[in-house]
Amino acid sequence: MMTNHAVQRLVELAEGIYIETAIPRESHPALRSGFAGYPSNPRWNVRKYQAWKQGKQWRQALDNGQLVVEEQHLVPVVQPECQAPPLPKKTTRDWRSPLKKLTFSLN
């Protein structure tokens, strides 16, 4: 009996950097290619292109500080929501009709 649930596998993205993912084994080279910054291959099928794109997104997140490497595993950074100061409220003016902007005088 076949099941359709995804199997989590440990993939080495770069030397010493691992991540657990459900991406199929045949797409792992494309995943590594995206993480390394190589361009996509136009002969790849959709699954390999998506794996490449995911690897590229993980590299960008690592560079932006959204992901970090802890004990050789790539993990997301948890940022507390209260860290950012609240945005000041904009003062609202009286509502003006957009048609009022279009009216003009010939005088």
pTM for this structure?
A: 0.65
- Asked if the model's pLDDT at residue 102 lies above 70, the reply is no
pLDDT in tens, 53-79: 999 999 999 899 888 888 878 777 765
Residue 106 is classified by DSSP as -
Is-contact 91 70, C-beta < 8 A?
Answer: no
**Which pLDDT score, from 0 to 100, does residue 1 have?**
47
